[in-house]
Amino acid sequence: MNPMLQTERLVLRRPLPGDWPAFHDFMMSDRSTAFGSHGNLGRAFRAFAAELGHWEIFGYGMWAVTRRGEETCIGLVGPWTPPDWPEREVGWMILSAAAEGTGIATEAARAAIAHAYGTLGWDTVVSYIGPENVRSARLAEKLGARRDAEAPQPYPDAPVLVYRHPRPEARA
């Protein structure tokens, strides 16, 4: 099964092993400091393998984001539900520096949140964001999410900001 979402400018598809170079380059760059695998080849590899494995285990996961008509993965956006996570998350990371600031993360995240509520039937969606990741927090707010200080933490020893996303129809 190879589910796909399409937006005006983007295709969100299941990640492929061939997306590893883009993920690797991002994780080895200073742009990835908000992610736990920053600069560590072994952790970056295991994180990417977990993205592929999430799809195998659950039948869904973060999508590789590409521009329509192109194959190059420029981001990973979508549902993320490791078994030890307290809630279901939609997360994002834009791998391509050239794609930052172009609205791609917003467009892809809106589609992923709608998919989580609609197709996956989730009753709530959160995003876990490191306190230093100001750009991701701004994106969550742009998407209509609000901080939920009472939400359970995925990392009790390293608290993050929890943003709760409204259902798409509540934003309309």
Domain boundaries, the chain: 4-171
Identify residue 135 by its one-letter amino acid code: R
CATH fold of the domain at 4-171: Aminopeptidase (3.40.630)
pTM of this structure: 0.94
User: How confident is the model at residue 172, as a pLDDT?
Assistant: 61
> CA–CA distance from 84 to each of 18, 112, 153 (Å)?
28, 21, 10
Q: Is the pLDDT of residue 2 over 70?
A: no
Percent of the chain with pLDDT over 90: 87
Q: How far is it between the farthest Cα atoms of the chain?
A: 43
Give the number of C-alpha atoms closer than 13 A to the C-alpha of residue 48, restricted to the C-beta side.
24
Question: 3-class DSSP state for residue 83?
Answer: coil
Over range 87-109, report the average pLDDT.
96
**Residue closest to 65 by CA, chosen among 26, 99, 28, 24:** 99
pLDDT tens per residue across span 14-54: 999 999 999 999 999 988 887 776 788 999 999 999 999 99
User: How confident is the model at residue 38, as a pLDDT?
Assistant: 72
